[in-house]
Structure 1
Amino acid sequence: MSVPTAGSVAWFEIGSNQPDEVKTFFGELFGWQFKLNTDLPGVDYHAAITPGAPGPVGGIFDHADRFDDYAIFYVLVEDIAATIEKAKVLGAAVAMEPVTDAAGISFARLRNNTGHHFGIFSMPAPAE
């Protein structure tokens, strides 16, 4: 499996107030496995590992009734701030300001000019 390039859909997230049921459903249907991710304190997030993937490619977020249930895709970008500015010029709005987790992964959520919800993320710079 190759490393995703900027502009690729490279992550998904399913938000639910019933994360165990979601994990059971997709685990039994597609053979997905899950691992607790503790990179954001206070956030119940389970990384999803799909068959053949070298590591997680998505996650299940327990939103604890703070949101409606959802499924979203994330696009890998080189620069979160620059991408947000370009998206705004194209008519997008920021739905969730950028945050960075303990692993150095930064992500944000946007709504495009027609209201569709999607995410962007960037990886930390490689260590020298």
Structure 2
Amino acid sequence: MTIPAENTVAWFQIGSDKPAEVEKFYGDLFGWNFTPDPDSAGYDLIGYPGGQAPSGGVAHSPDASGNHATFFVLVRDVAATVAAAEGFGGKVLVPPITSENGLVFAHILDPSGNNFGIFTPAP
């Protein structure tokens, strides 16, 4: 499996309070497949026919207020990218978090208020 290039959109996430319905919709529309993430309860990995590895995920939201669609950009250093984003007029929505497996991520608002994520893969 190859790691995507830095500073590219390398993951996306769909949050839904109706994950089964969302998965059926995208599965029927695009042929995507879904498997439970063995490392995270309430999260399903999205794969594509012929794809080598998952490219996104479905986060199970407790209610509709948590529904979202977000893209994630792979970066070398999450903390440095957060600081740079603030310098360019962005706002930190979720500061850097390190997951149990070492993945580091954060959420940023661009100057027009769009939410996107950045991440560095687990070692």
Does TM, normalized by the shorter one, top 0.5? yes
**TM-score with structure 2 length normalisation?**
0.91
Aligned length: 123
> How far does residue 53 in structure 1 lie from its aligned partner after superposition?
1.5
One-letter amino acid matched to 2:20: D
Q: 2:28 corresponds to which residue?
A: 28
Output the CA distance in 1 between the equivalents of 2:121 and 2:6.
Answer: 10
Unaligned runs of at least 5 residues, structure 2: none
Unaligned runs of at least 5 residues, structure 1: none
Q: 1:58 corresponds to which residue?
A: 56
What is the RMSD computed on CA atoms of the aligned residues? 1.7
> How far does residue 31 in structure 1 lie from its aligned partner after superposition?
1.1
Superimposed CA distance per residue, residues 44-94 of structure 1 (whole angstroms, 9 cap, x where no aligned partner): 110100122211100111111173421110000010000000000011111
> How far does residue 116 in structure 1 lie from its aligned partner after superposition?
1.0
**TM-score with structure 1 length normalisation?**
0.87
> How far does residue 5 in structure 1 lie from its aligned partner after superposition?
0.8
One-letter amino acid matched to 1:8: T
Runs of 4+ in 1 over 6 A off after TM superposition: none
Q: Quick check: 1:38–1:44 contact (8 Å CA) kept in 2?
A: no
Q: 1:67 corresponds to which residue?
A: 65
> How far does residue 2 in structure 1 lie from its aligned partner after superposition?
5.1
One-letter amino acid matched to 1:19: P
3-state SS of paired residue (1:35): strand
Output the CA distance in 2 between the equivalents of 1:14 and 1:29.
Answer: 15
Q: State the identity %.
A: 40
